[in-house]
Amino acid sequence: MRRHTLNWLPSWNGELPKDWDKGLPEFPADEKGIAARNASGKVLNYLAGKLPELVGGSADLSNSCQTWMSDCKAFQADLPEGRNIYFGIREHAMGAIVNGMAYHKGVLPFGSTYLVFTDYFRGAIRLSALSEIHSLWVTTHDSIFVGGDGPTHQPVEQIAALRTVPGLMVIRPGDANETAAAWKVAIEHKTGPVLLVLSRQALPTLDRKVYSSASLLSKGAYVLKDFGNGKPDIILMAAGSEVALVAEAGKVLAGEGVNVRVVSFPSWDLFEAQDAAYKRQVFPMEVRKRLAIEAGSMQGWDRWVGLDGVVIGIDKFGASASQKDLALHYGITIDHVLEEARRLLK
């Protein structure tokens, strides 16, 4: 009989090896950047070498979701030590299997697919949250910017819907280093499932000598940068690919003499867990001019912008077109952010 070399007791108890996260990949500043899914793949392969209990795969999308652990074999009947699992094109079955492994303990299981296909295993996602088990869901192609597949593959309402699931931690990182930080949170969060929402397209890797540390992702929302001097006149906030967009808009407005606070907001769930003092530190109550942008449903963002704020988003299905044309058509552009911000400031 084949036996695993894994020491099961620490894994069974959810213990992590000492310094398991000390070598997490760090990504240099880069305007062209890297897709969050590709950054995630690099982080996952680092973790695979540190955490032998990490097992999982995708619904036949490993290459696209970047969830293949390159130094590990595929799980087969005659190779039970394999850690890459071929779930097949069946998201619901994948979700059930991942949950079963999480229930069993001793392993740290993940399943992966495109964000729009979470509809196919929503029941399994909900059950993982209801059961407070450590299932990891890795979703990619996080917005309408997924290429020419058109509205069938372009998520619009999925992020908003998933954020409503009690106990499900949803994280949408804004660049490669936030992606690494998101994986750290996902591994350490043992009281429920975590769902990562990753981009298909390249995201600029922000210069963390200029902007705040990506490790602050663990707070859910954080001040990425204060432009200007004194109290902010306006707060711009975003998650995912739109973070770099509001950062650029902040620079432009600062050049016009406006004090701008830019907030990266990767996880409402993590932010909700912070104390009131931290929340007021990020969002001072007296700063009522706020703007949020997301390349998806606007539902829920009104809570963070308030009655005097503005939300830019998408309230219709996508279309088959280039990323540039889609951004222009739906107003997910720096020009639209600037237009709405200036209107608020008046």
Distance from the Cα of residue 277 to its chain's centroid: 25
Q: Which distant-in-sequence residues (6+ apart) come within 8 Å of 14 by Cβ? A: 105, 134, 190
Give the DSSP H/E element, type plus range, for residue 166: none
- In the DSSP assignment, the letter for residue 171 is E
Contact 133, 110 (CB under 8 A): no
Q: In sequence order, what DSSP letters do the residues of 161-206 get, joined into one string?
A: HHHTSTT-EEE--SSHHHHHHHHHHHHH--SS-EEEE--SSEEEE-
Backbone angles phi, psi at 252, to 5 degrees: -65, -45
Active-site residue identified among 15, 81, 91, 256 = 91
Q: Give the single-character DSSP code of 33.
A: E
Q: Would you say how long the chain is, in residues?
A: 346
198: exposed, middle or buried (Cβ count in 10 Å: 0-12, 13-18, 19+): buried
* Cα–Cα dist 261/297, whole Å: 23
CA distance 172 to 272: 15
What is the helix (H) or strand (E) element at residue 57, kind and residue range? strand 54-58
Catalytic residue status for 26: no
Q: Return the number of other C-beta atoms located less than 10 Å from residue 103's C-beta.
A: 14
* Residues facing 195 on adjacent strands: 137, 170
User: Which are the catalytic amino acids?
Assistant: 91
